[in-house]
Amino acid sequence: MSATPGRGVWVAPGRVNIIGEHTDYNDGYALPIALPQVVTCTAEVTTDGAVRVSSKQHAGQVRESLDGLAESAVTGWARYPLGVVHEYLRRGHELSGVVLEIDGTVPVGAGLSSSAALECAVALAIRDLFGIDADSAELIDIGRAAENSYVGAATGTLDQSASLLCTAGHALFLDFATGDSAQVPFDLAAAGLQLLVADTDTPHRLADGGYGRRRRECEQAAHALGVHSLRAVTDPAAAERLADPVLRRRARHVVTENARVLTVVGLLRDGCDPRAIGPLLTSAHASLRDDFEVSTPELDAAVAAALDAGAHGARMVGGGFGGSIIAVTDIDRTDSIASAIRRRFRDDGFSPPRFFVAVPAAGARRIS
Does residue 216 fall inside a structural domain? yes
Which regions of 322-363 does DSSP assign to beta strands (E)?
324-330, 354-358
Sequence-distant (≥ 6) Cβ neighbours of residue 132 within 8 angstroms: 1, 88, 93, 126
User: Cβ of 94: how many Cβ atoms within 10 Å?
Assistant: 12
* Same domain, residue pair 336 and 213: yes
Q: Are residues 16 and 97 in the same domain?
A: yes
Is residue 148 domain-shared with residue 232, that is, in the same domain?
no
Do 258 and 157 belong to one domain?
Answer: no
Concatenating the DSSP letter of every residue in 266-299 gives HHHHTT--GGGGHHHHHHHHHHHHHTS----HHH
Same domain membership, residue 351 and residue 253: yes
Predicted pLDDT at 154: 83
Total residues found in the chain within this entry: 368
pLDDT digits (tens, 9 = 90+) for 242-294: 999 999 999 999 999 999 999 999 999 999 999 999 999 999 999 999 999 99
* Active-site hit among 24, 27, 159, 291: 159
Q: Are 317 and 324 in contact (CB under 8 A)?
A: yes
Burial (CB count within 10 angstroms: exposed 0-12, middle 13-18, buried 19+), residue 297: exposed
Looking at per-residue pLDDT, the higher value among 78 and 212 belongs to 78
Are 96 and 46 spatial neighbours (Cβ–Cβ below 8 Å)?
A: yes
Q: How much is the pLDDT for 231?
A: 97
Same domain, 61 and 147: yes
Q: Give catalytic status of residue 187 as yes or no.
A: no
Same domain flag for 192 and 179: no
Helix or strand holding residue 246 (H, E): helix 245-269
Helices and strands of the chain, counted as H and E runs: 10, 12
Q: Looking at the whole model, is its pTM more than 0.85?
A: yes
Examine the domain organization and report whether 296 and 334 are in the same domain.
Answer: yes
Nearest Cα to 258, choosing from 284, 239, 237? 284
Where residue 2 falls among pLDDT bands split at 50, 70, 90? very low
Domain annotation covers residue 2: no
pLDDT level of residue 48 (50, 70, 90 thresholds): very high
What's the confidence (pLDDT) of residue 273?
97
Closest CA to 19 of 177, 195, 140: 195
Domain membership of residue 1 (yes or no) is: no
Q: 62 and 16, same structural domain?
A: yes
- Claim to verify: residue 169 and residue 223 sit in the same structural domain: no
Interval 292-347: pLDDT, tens:
999 999 999 999 999 999 999 999 999 899 999 999 999 999 999 999 999 999 99
CA distance 10 to 353: 30
Q: By residue range, what is the domain housing residue 298?
A: 187-358
Residues 156 and 284 occupy one common structural domain: no
Interatomic CA distance for residues 66 and 85, integer angstroms: 8
Q: Is the dihedral of CA 140, 36, 324, 289 positive or negative?
A: negative
Q: Look up the CATH number of the domain holding residue 130.
A: 3.30.230.10
CA 3 to centroid of chain Cα atoms: 32
